[in-house]
Structure 1
């Protein structure tokens, strides 16, 4: 290689390294809405390390092509990470790539979250390609080059490479070590930098011993029992028969998991149009829990299915259907199977979506009905509408009624899936001009249709003779509105209600309609999705203690206080108790608290330190427990 060619290769090293660094700073700004200059060296360090390694191992004639290919690969990763953050609100780790095959199932939703600025990650590549084509056209075929590099140039090259490797590696190691003591994953990622954070995630996954635990599950269960005994959930004497125990014994059970359904639309109207009339009526006739919050992890809707059926925390690093679909999961279907029930689940998508073909056998369902069982009325990208979901469900459940078999049915809705676009023929409310062509307007329209469709389910159950012998449970799987898409002020202006970007966003409805109730009951106890199984088991007369069932949630009808943890969509250590939502900073003392009643900041939250410590221990034991469950 001649001297001028050598100089150009060296220049490409600096140019590509600089461009990647700028892209990481762009990602930092998109993630954290600021660039903390004291941490920008944490982004530069891994770039120097990786570029130095490439320069060390790649032959000279290939260096330029490899540098730009590496730039292209990282640009694609950073683009995908930004889109992921737009959609989910959390910094992805490399484990998120396990779920890449799911993207094509929700491509409409993903496309809607791409922002113009995301394409900046590819701007330099477009310019470089255009420039290269122009030069080739202008100059014609390249002439053979003499291969000679002077000793001085070679020495400089090696000094740069070694400095990049040693300096970048040392600073990266320091950044990763400094982030280890931070509980908050967002602060970890901001402190360590995106690339170092990926290394940190890999180290933590290795320390967690992957998905296979070591130890005795009986010892873990004993630790869970001891820990939970230290938190006074109930003042009732031990051995007291719980309230409402067995009041619905032997009844059929239908659980409707409502897609992206938050609690705030309930009991609200939009210019005189009641948004959720069906759910409002059910809430007034049954048990309504207005202070329940999502606890899902990376598996989103499938994690909600997992939790409502197991009362186990998601591990947060990847979907539970992906990581634990090969286990024998203690579950509500298995508890009810022992009582003579058959359990089925219904979803209008393909069963392979989110690996449900593995999850459902792991949970012990008798069978499932997926895409091919429903008439496709082309409602959205999933295919069939909620109305078609319910028509098929009632048909199949009526067959069980004729056999005299009690059933547990899980119905997973999809009509209110992001981006909340529903066909005009299915719309049932008229939006005011200020909400037309807005995400909030689309969301309220989709929620209203979801509510209407539930009314068709109820009518079908009544006509088939199932209604009076069926417990109907309805809950939201996760939030629908992201703050960057719908600011709180827009909700407040549209509906005239207070709305908080964290408390209100994570607040989901839970309604249990039980046959024979004389009047409805509002239960103001704070709860989470882990509490659904214990609450339902009590009504059905299933004693979890006598069954030896380990639940990490609690019966909301029989506790005097509660605390529920959350992670993934909020930093690990986030919790809701009966008074506040707490979100940690680097730890507890620099965290933030918001009142659940007033939605205002709580300045002094020091008395809740014990709740923070308790939740961290409980989630850790849940992880330990689920990893020790036997494989199928």
Structure 2
């Protein structure tokens, strides 16, 4: 090969390596709002390794094309990762690509999170296209780098550059991967290792986890879980005491409403004299209401909330539970109730294939489900039918079971308040002040108000069908609705006159249980999470979980004096809520941070909570072991 050709090749190598490095630095800026200069070499290292290896194994005439193909692949990957982070608030790993088929189901929601800056990942291709068109217009063939390439480069010099790139790039990447592996905080891990090395860390961890099928004895794991939970001391009640409210609703129907993107802060608030959630406010006054409950979902989002509320098992944090574990026989509330003569159904106005629900619902033990084709499509939003149509169909089907004398368990999943919270004009029931017109917060509050109104229509249907006085009604939010980048805390505080924290308030979801004949509400300030829903409901229905040999990772919120609930994915692994604080680790416990649940102010001395940190890490580890050992169907 002529020196001039190797000069061209080296020019493309340096150019593409530099462009890929700049794009990785841009991703750092978009994800972490800064470029930590001490770690930027960790972004360059895998680029040099990748391009160097490609040079060594690719025929000379194809190398330039391969460089630009890698640049294009990285551009698409980084664009998708930035959009993913905008939408979910976490750095994606390669495992997130298992869920790519779900994107088209929430196209409107995803499109609304794309920023103009995200398109910078393709800026170099746009420049090259313009340059090529200009050269063609001038009568030349296209981009040509030869004039700017030094003519005295030799093959030996270029090969030395490539070997140095492979050796140094590989060594530096390996060092960053080894350094980051012991960091529990995924955000710190991704920032310190660099995006591409972080993907390698995730792959190594997935390999160590042996995929989704565990090894060992599930009985021994269950015993380890029981022993660990006994060490925490959730309750001051003497052993063997009958829990409060145990069996008070035995034999009653149960309807669970999972409210889309419903945070707790709109409850009991008004906007220029307009009550935002009048139905839920009134219902809380005659229900068990838990104002300190927090989401615990993983990458499965709404489907993970359905999974947890029915199983009291932690999501694994790397894959939607409906994708990874729908081939199992899952211990669940539907199964417990079916053993007691109930029938169990779930209602969702989207197609059941979305998030693999068509397989998850049988895994959870439901008799059947009603999905998109079972509802009148009033074209409310991208999903089709409105919450009102969801409730009309559900009331009709459940009334038929009632007439047959069959007790039932039903889970209803709402979608009318789904991001980006755009509802038809005719469905809007509040008037926004000028400062909220056209804002995400204004759209959100309008959608929440509609969700509340639709629940009121459902309650009226239950009364008309004779179901209300024989049914336990459970309501909870599946996950947050507002992202900090869309709605600053100050905007919420100014609009409603309430304190708002970007983590505590955002992850705080409502949870309430209305029991038939209940006239006086009970407010329980006990901290809880979505894992606690099943044990709390089971207690009211008179189901002794320990006596059933049922392994639950949550607690009965009506019968504990203290609690700690872990969270990962939307917060780093090791994060937890207890009765006092939200704790978020740094690289470990000592460099973490704590915020008071009561004051929303930082807590400087959180050393006394180290045992909670160690406990929750171990509990989530055992949960992962347990779910992987569940029998396959």
TM-score, normalised to structure 1, is 0.98
Q: Deviations over 1:490-539 (max 9, x none)?
A: 00000000000000000000010001224110001000000000000000
User: Partner residue of 1:283?
Assistant: 284
1:3-402 equivalences under 5 Å are: 3-140=3-140, 153-402=154-403
SS for the counterpart of 1:511 is strand
User: Partner residue of 2:492?
Assistant: 491
User: Partner residue of 1:145?
Assistant: none
Give the distance between the partners of 2:320 and 2:182, measured in 1 at CA: 25
Give the distance between the partners of 1:151 and 1:127, measured in 2 at CA: 28
User: Partner residue of 2:585?
Assistant: 584
Give the distance between the partners of 1:402 and 1:125, measured in 2 at CA: 66
- Residue 187 of structure 1 deviates from its aligned partner by 0.2
SS for the counterpart of 1:546 is coil
Give the distance between the partners of 1:69 and 1:181, measured in 2 at CA: 33
Give the distance between the partners of 1:281 and 1:337, measured in 2 at CA: 32
- Paired residues of 2:4 and 2:152 also in contact (CA < 8 A): no
- Residue 5 of structure 1 deviates from its aligned partner by 3.2
Structure 2, unaligned runs of 5 or more: 143-149
SS for the counterpart of 2:99 is helix
- Residue 66 of structure 1 deviates from its aligned partner by 1.4
SS for the counterpart of 1:174 is helix
Give the distance between the partners of 2:374 and 2:16, measured in 1 at CA: 52
| 1:503 to 2:504 alignment | yes
SS for the counterpart of 1:290 is coil
SS for the counterpart of 2:556 is coil
SS for the counterpart of 2:510 is strand
Q: 1:407 to 1:165 in 2, by over 3 A?
A: same
Q: 1:12 to 1:578 in 2, by over 3 A?
A: same
- Residue 141 of structure 1 deviates from its aligned partner by 5.7
Give the distance between the partners of 2:214 and 2:151, measured in 1 at CA: 57
Give the distance between the partners of 1:132 and 1:327, measured in 2 at CA: 55
Give the distance between the partners of 2:133 and 2:11, measured in 1 at CA: 19
SS for the counterpart of 1:576 is strand
Give the distance between the partners of 2:190 and 2:286, measured in 1 at CA: 46
- Residue 135 of structure 1 deviates from its aligned partner by 2.7
- Residue 4 of structure 1 deviates from its aligned partner by 2.7
User: Partner residue of 1:611?
Assistant: 612
Give the distance between the partners of 2:409 and 2:572, measured in 1 at CA: 34
- Residue 220 of structure 1 deviates from its aligned partner by 0.3
- Residue 139 of structure 1 deviates from its aligned partner by 4.1
SS for the counterpart of 1:233 is coil
Give the distance between the partners of 1:450 and 1:365, measured in 2 at CA: 25
Q: Deviations over 1:88-128 (max 9, x none)?
A: 10000000000000000000000000000000000001111
Give the distance between the partners of 2:373 and 2:206, measured in 1 at CA: 38
SS for the counterpart of 1:582 is strand
User: Partner residue of 2:531?
Assistant: 530
Give the distance between the partners of 2:152 and 2:35, measured in 1 at CA: 41
Give the distance between the partners of 1:436 and 1:32, measured in 2 at CA: 30
Give the distance between the partners of 1:222 and 1:330, measured in 2 at CA: 16
User: Partner residue of 1:465?
Assistant: 466
Give the distance between the partners of 1:222 and 1:403, measured in 2 at CA: 41
| 1:630 to 2:622 alignment | no
Give the distance between the partners of 1:585 and 1:232, measured in 2 at CA: 27
- Residue 6 of structure 1 deviates from its aligned partner by 2.7
SS for the counterpart of 1:333 is helix
Give the distance between the partners of 1:379 and 1:9, measured in 2 at CA: 56
- Paired residues of 2:6 and 2:155 also in contact (CA < 8 A): no
- Residue 9 of structure 1 deviates from its aligned partner by 1.9
User: Partner residue of 2:570?
Assistant: 569
- Residue 69 of structure 1 deviates from its aligned partner by 1.3
- Residue 152 of structure 1 deviates from its aligned partner by 6.4
TM-score, normalised to structure 2, is 0.98
- Residue 160 of structure 1 deviates from its aligned partner by 1.1
Moved more, 515-524 or 618-627: 515-524
Q: Deviations over 1:149-182 (max 9, x none)?
A: 9996111121111111111000000000000121
User: Partner residue of 2:447?
Assistant: 446
| 1:455 to 2:456 alignment | yes
Give the distance between the partners of 1:46 and 1:60, measured in 2 at CA: 21
Structure 1, unaligned runs of 5 or more: 143-148
SS for the counterpart of 2:603 is coil
User: Partner residue of 1:146?
Assistant: none
- Residue 410 of structure 1 deviates from its aligned partner by 0.3
Give the distance between the partners of 1:134 and 1:249, measured in 2 at CA: 78
Give the distance between the partners of 1:9 and 1:564, measured in 2 at CA: 56
User: Partner residue of 1:422?
Assistant: 423
Give the distance between the partners of 2:380 and 2:325, measured in 1 at CA: 32
Give the distance between the partners of 1:607 and 1:546, measured in 2 at CA: 34
- Residue 132 of structure 1 deviates from its aligned partner by 2.6
Q: Deviations over 1:261-306 (max 9, x none)?
A: 0000000000000000000011110000000000000000000000
Give the distance between the partners of 2:141 and 2:285, measured in 1 at CA: 79
Q: RMSD across aligned C-alpha pairs, in angstroms?
A: 1.3
Give the distance between the partners of 1:317 and 1:136, measured in 2 at CA: 48
- Paired residues of 2:3 and 2:155 also in contact (CA < 8 A): no
User: Partner residue of 2:147?
Assistant: none
Give the distance between the partners of 1:180 and 1:557, measured in 2 at CA: 39
Give the distance between the partners of 2:105 and 2:94, measured in 1 at CA: 20
Moved more, 52-61 or 267-276: 52-61
Give the distance between the partners of 1:523 and 1:23, measured in 2 at CA: 49
User: Partner residue of 1:474?
Assistant: 475
